[in-house]
A and B are shown apart, each in its own frame.
Chain A
C-alpha cells in the first residue's frame, strides 16, 4: 500500500498497522487538520479534505464528550454499508495526533482496535524527542514568487496597488 509521511518516524508503525489491521485507508493528522501521514489514498479521495473533516469530527466528539461525560470521547466509530471508520487520538512525545482508519469487510472494528493499540505504542516509542523545528528559509524575493503564483491563480496580471474603494490597501 502506498504510504506517505511528513516525518519518517511515522512511516514504519503506520505501515505495520494498515497491514495487520487490513485497513483500506489510514490518515494520521494533527488535531488542527494538518496531515502527518497517509496510507492508501488515491486521487479520488482528497487527503486535505479528509483531514479537515476528520479534525472537525474529532474535535466535535471531544467537545461533546466534555459536555456530557466531563472528559473527551477518545474514539469514534461510524459504520456505512460497505465501509466503516474508526478514529481516535494518539498521544506521543511529539504531541497529540488523530488517526482515522477506514476498513471494509476484510477487517472488523475489533481487529482495528487491537492493532490501533499497537500503533499507539509503536508511535510513542518511535517519536523522537521534541526539538525546535527550524523555520524554512525563504528567499529574500519570496514575495515575487508569491505575487506571480497568486496572479496565476486568479488569472490576472501581477496586481498593482489600487486606490480605494474596491480592493484597496487602505494604508
Chain B
C-alpha cells in the first residue's frame, strides 16, 4: 500500500526483495546501502540470526528525491528465504507495492527458485492480492560465477519468467545489475501508482 501525502506532497512505497535462501537479497540491499549518499538513506536495519541469515527482514529506507513534484521515498525490505520462515515472509509481504524476485543462478538451486516463486504467488493470493497486478521484476543473481556452475539467463527465464516481466542478470556482490533492477521496479511501481500510466 503506497502512501501519498498530498499535504506534504510525499509518496512512500514498499518494495520487497523475495527469493530463496542465500540468493542474494540482503546482498542487494547492502550494495545499495554502500552506494547511496548518507543524506539519501536511513539506517539499514537487519533482523538476522547469529550466522547472519535473515531472521525476519532487512529494511532500508531510501529517499529518491523529487519526482513530478512529489518527494518520493522507497522502503526496501527483504524476506527470509529459508522455507521454514514462511510465516514471516507472509508478514513482510503485506502491503508491498512491488516485488523484486532474486533468483540464484546456480544450476543446483533451480528447484529452490521455482519453489520460492510459487511461494510468492501463493502468499500474495493468501492476502487476496492478484499476483499479476503487483509490479514484479526478476533478477538472476550470481551470473559472475563460472559458467559450468550456473544456468544461463535464457534457461532461468524459461523456468521462471512465464509472465514476461522485466528481467536482469546481476552480480549483487559487486554491483552489476543491482541498479538496473531497482530502477526497473521503481518505474513499474510509480507507473502503477499513477494509475497504470495515467500521467499529465
- Interface residues of chain A, those whose CB is within 8 Å of chain B, are 6, 8, 30-36, 46, 48-49, 52-53, 56, 59-60, 63, 133, 135-140, 142-143, 145-150, 152-156, 159, 162, 164-171
Can you name 13 A-B residue pairings with CB atoms under 8 Å? A30-B3, A49-B45, A52-B57, A59-B91, A135-B195, A137-B199, A153-B37, A155-B35, A155-B37, A166-B143, A166-B144, A169-B167, A169-B168
Hey, which bits of chain B sit against chain A, CB under 8 A?
A: 1-7, 11-12, 14, 35-37, 40, 42-43, 45, 47, 56-57, 59, 61-62, 64-70, 72-73, 75, 77, 87-88, 91-92, 94-96, 143-144, 153, 157, 164, 166-171, 175-180, 182-184, 186-187, 190-191, 193-195, 198-200
- Given A34-B14, A154-B36, A170-B157, answer yes or no on A56-B91 (Cβ-Cβ < 8 Å): yes
Please tell me if the beta carbons of B199 and A154 are within 8 angstroms of each other in the complex.
no
Contacts A33-B75, A35-B3, A169-B184 hold; do A153 and B36 have CB atoms under 8 A apart? yes
What residues of chain A lie closer than 8 Å to B198, measured between beta carbons? 135, 137
Q: Are B180 and A149 in contact (CB under 8 A)?
A: no
4 closest cross-chain pairs (CB), A and B: A32-B95, A167-B177, A149-B65, A166-B176
Distance in Å: Cβ of B53 to nearest Cβ of chain A? 17
B57 neighbours in A (Cβ, 8 Å)? 52, 56
Q: Are A150 and B166 in contact (CB under 8 A)?
A: no
Given contacts A6-B3, A56-B56, contact A167 B170 (CB under 8 A): yes
Chain A residue contacts of B170, Cβ below 8 A? 166-167
Q: State A155–B37 Cα separation when bound (angstroms).
A: 8
For the complex formed, measure the closest distance between the CB of B183 and the CB atoms of chain A, giving whole angstroms: 5
Is the contact region of chain B dominated by helix, strand, or loop, or is it mixed?
mixed
Contact pick for B186, options A49, A146, A159, CB 8 Å: A146
Which residues of A have CB within 8 Å of B194? 135-138, 142
List the B residue with the shortest CB-CB distance to A4. B8
Residues of A within 8 A of B166 (CB): 169, 171
Contact partner of B95 among A33, A36, A149, CB < 8 A?
A33
A139 engages B200 (CB within 8 Å): yes
Known: A34-B95, A48-B75, A137-B200. 10 other contacts (CB 8 A): A36-B3, A46-B43, A48-B61, A52-B57, A56-B47, A138-B68, A139-B68, A149-B72, A167-B169, A167-B178
